[in-house]
A and B are shown apart, each in its own frame.
Chain A
Amino acid sequence: MSLTERMVLTRVRRLTRRDLRQWVHEGWVRPAMGEAGPVFDEIDVARLRLLCDLRKEMALPSDALPVVLTLIDRLHATRRDLRLLVEVLAEQPEDVRRAIISHLQSRASDDVP
């Protein structure tokens, strides 16, 4: 999916051209740079909607936005790593998985104050 700036603006009605350019400039949204200007993917459109929610609906000030975005990006990177870990664990033999699960359970109950 490749969308031009204009197509993105028709898709996300509450987004203004000025905001879009500003957010790309800040690096909050990172479209591919094609010969005829930026090219947006579905993930960029979804991220723009999230930015609209944060900025417009939740009225987050623009200097707080990079902090929130960094945390969100970190969260998703961590979740992908975690998912990878879970997938790798699922490929392990039965006894390895059991051992890990029982370790996890005993650690989790240790941590209860």
Chain B
Amino acid sequence: MNNDPYKILGVPRTATQDEIKKAYRKLVKSLHPDLHPDDAAKQERFKAVSAAYELLGDPEQRRRFDAGEIDASGQERPERQFYHQYAEQDAGRRYDPGQGFGGAMGDDDLSDIFAQFFGGRAGGPGRNGFRQEFHARGQDLHYHLDVDFLDAARGTRRSVTMPDGHTIEIAIPPGLKDGQTLRLRGKGGPGSGQGGPGDALVTVSVRSHPVFSREGDDIEMDLPITFDEAVLGAKVEVPTVSGTVSATIPKGASSGQRLRLRGKGIRHPDGKAGDQIVRLKIVLPKRIDADMEELAKRWRDKSGLDPRADLRRMT
């Protein structure tokens, strides 16, 4: 491809900044990759046109280029990620107009289509009287909400200020899963004519927690214990999503052993509750002192335990 930014934009070297801008705008309209997602040739030309305008659109850069101080490929820009590259992935559902195979269909899809065009712009200037005679349910509005892990596990109420300025109260039920969508009836866009308002669809992302993780209604965590607690057994404090409880470590516990704390997982309002699974993890001190070393040596000499006997037999 030709490297001369003037040729790429199709302007003479004597063009004014205004002419350059005009030429660029004209090209962008016909080449923008988000408007022609399949056309690789247009995409390439768009890149060249953008780079050329980057150079010539800025009088100072243009002067330096004309003076030969920098070449056409002057600075390499990081590759731009275009919108369509995201919009065609699942992430693009965020901006769906509410149609499609798997999407949330409105109660009445026809009115949804019209609502999109006529009812969805309540903020904009009302331009035609046609709206008066037109009845349609309001648009479903999609929102995203980030929720703390513990809030999602226990359930909570959150009042959230929406982008349009009004506040809605959202009840987050205990045990809400990451990516789940809550439908708030009548909290969406206003309807047209006698149509009722749409719904607010709030997709919730649950943030991860440094200690707890979720497996359905069960909560899992690693519990560090000391060598003596593993050998002798102990009663220790264990954090759960609903506060600290005391748990018994059995005598002779091994790393990886799992304790099940019944009913300490996600608790649903109907009384159903998951468990908390505690994985024991024996932690030794960073520095082994003489006592411990002595103890280990004595124990080794007479124990005769071979924890890897099974491994050898089975491999």
Could you tell me which A residues sit within 8 Å of B by CB distance? 2, 24-27, 30-35, 38-39, 41-43, 46-47, 49-50, 53, 57-59, 63, 66, 70, 72-81, 83-84
Contact = CB atoms under 8 A, between A and B. Distances in A.
List the 10 shortest-distance A-B pairs measured between CB atoms, nearest first. Answer: A32-B144, A43-B86, A76-B87, A50-B83, A46-B83, A34-B146, A24-B163, A43-B91, A77-B96, A73-B95
Interface in B211-246: none
Residue of A47, A74, A80 ringed by the most chain B CB atoms within 10 A: A80
B92 A43 contact: yes
A78 B37 CA distance: 13
Contacts of A66: 120-121, 124
Contacts of A53: 28, 32, 34
Interface string B124-160: 1100000000000000011111100000000000001
Given A25-B164, A27-B164, A76 B125 contact: no
B66 to A, nearest CB: 23
A62 to B, nearest CB: 9
Given A50-B82, A63-B125, A43 B87 contact: yes
B86 A30 contact: no
Interface string B153-190: 00000001111110000000000000000000000000
Interface string B103-119: 10000000000001100
Contacts of A25: 123, 163-165
Given A57-B28, A76-B84, A32 B95 contact: no
Given A27-B141, A66-B120, A77-B103, A43 B146 contact: no
Nearest to A44: B94
B96 A73 contact: yes
A2 B207 CA distance: 11
A47 B83 contact: yes
A19 to B, nearest CB: 14
Residue of B34, B93, B124, B143 ringed by the most chain A CB atoms within 10 A: B34
A41 B86 CA distance: 10
11 contacts: A33-B143, A33-B144, A34-B146, A39-B146, A50-B83, A53-B32, A58-B32, A63-B124, A70-B117, A76-B88, A78-B100
B194 interface: no
B257 interface: no
A43 B160 CA distance: 22
A41 B91 contact: yes
Nearest to B125: A63
Given A35-B146, A43-B92, A70 B25 contact: no
A74 B146 CA distance: 26
Contacts of B87: 43, 47, 72-73, 76
